[in-house]
Structure 1
């Protein structure tokens, strides 16, 4: 099967000597859209309109630093001889797990300082995080990164993919699994479940955020197993290790919080 479409240029446009890349545009768009959803829910749940704005002023840059630092640590052999590459974020190399760790730490400190429940804020921000991840993966698509291994023409899903996706995932004549797409769709399903199922159930505080962690971690574990560019730790894929910790950790924290709530309820009775 022949494809005549040209590969998508990672550079969207240039402003003089500055190249504006699709990767950065998509991440920025994800942040903006995620913020709009989060801000609306925050006001609806009684938080001051400026609360989330002030929080994101801190959380976004800290999360980007965390995402880059996490990636650089696991790719130190590549960066150590040219430290200037560490700052070329627009070329790719942001690890979502690093961003999440940084964001959670920032949220814990920020909510304690302002006397607001961390779990309340975490539940509010979960959909925004998924929106950012959904769009961010398309930045990987444009950069032709975060893909899986080669696929054959007789693969059952090959013919179902649009030509422009297959073309972009064809590198040096070899077509690779669009794992960016698998993860983006998985996250989209998780987002819809939160917006249209969990929110309407009015669950215990923290359940939405813990569901997000468990849902994302479960999908990421298997999708990561298909990828060929994984960050490694002691011969194992770092993202799979973190995903396992995230999945079982989220379930454990939920059970502990549920148990504690039941104890408090019985005590009051």
Structure 2
């Protein structure tokens, strides 16, 4: 009999009175702070203003969290949203909580965050950030930000593992995890796809970090961002084949929702990769400082 891994970790780190800190939330925060530290290092390397990073942090946090929550509600719980106007009959349905109380879509502590929604929210936030702050262009900002975002993704997947959620199909591999704390669990070993996804996020970080520092890939606009999109969403597309469906409506689909949402990002990444050959930023040479010309007095002849 194979010895599988029994995963029985408490999703709560600690509690102080009514306050409970969960691993998932702590790892989300850790991932964002690590991304901030990494991107700050890149900005300093290029001698960019410090206030750019401070403002980017605000844009980034709001965009990711709001986008991830709204993405979950729209991508994975869309079937619960009522049809406000039915065909050939104006019939309104108000039974759904998201329609009756739309602000509850932002209750992130109730669970439900989608990585694709977080990516879209981040893109919207970065559009306004680059438009209002750097004035350097949307893709320019992402060539740097995604290096840190890969670490954030790894932390989030580790958080999924601590929550015993979003895992794979049943496996007979020796590293299969039995998720004891999942109320929907069947007591069988499953692929720990959270670990697989965490590992490919770390690999993506190493690749993009190497491209930035060793190859100066940031001089080709869109190259780092394109590689990031292909690696992250390409691997995500493949891993979805061994992941359990997150929602009932995905049953019987050839491709699940995660795969359909990944395809546009993969295509975009390929486009950026090809287009980056023609978008090279020249190295700015330091301007020569003006020097005062010395007047040479003519030598006096000998008497």
TM-score (norm 1): 0.83
- Measured after TM superposition, the shift of residue 120 of structure 1 is 2.6
**Does the alignment pair 1:226 with 2:242?**
yes
Deviations 1:129-176 (A, max 9, x none): 100000100111111111011112xx2xx2xx4xxx835478442111
CA contact (8 A) 1:141 1:168 kept: no
Q: As a proportion of its length, which structure holds more helix?
A: 1
Q: Unpaired runs of 5+ in structure 2?
A: 82-94, 281-303
2:8 is matched with: 7
Query: CA 1:123–1:7 in structure 2 vs 1: closer, same or farther (change >3 Å)?
Result: same
1:117 is matched with: 137
Question: Partners of 1:124 and 1:37 in 2: how far apart?
Answer: 9
CA contact (8 A) 1:147 1:229 kept: no
Question: Partners of 2:270 and 2:6 in 1: how far apart?
Answer: 45
Give the root-mean-square deviation of aligned CA atoms.
2.7
Q: Which of 175, 178, 182 is the aligned partner of 2:196?
A: 182
Query: CA 1:25–1:123 in structure 2 vs 1: closer, same or farther (change >3 Å)?
Result: same
Question: Partners of 2:226 and 2:188 in 1: how far apart?
Answer: 39
Q: Which of 53, 74, 77 is the aligned partner of 1:75?
A: 77
Question: Partners of 1:62 and 1:54 in 2: how far apart?
Answer: 12
CA contact (8 A) 2:227 2:273 kept: no
CA contact (8 A) 2:178 2:188 kept: no
Aligned ranges 1:1-269 → 2 under 5 Å: 7-73=8-74, 74-77=76-79, 81-83=96-98, 86-114=105-133, 115-152=135-172, 155=173, 158=174, 161=175, 166-168=177-179, 171-203=185-217, 204-230=220-246, 235=253, 236-259=255-278
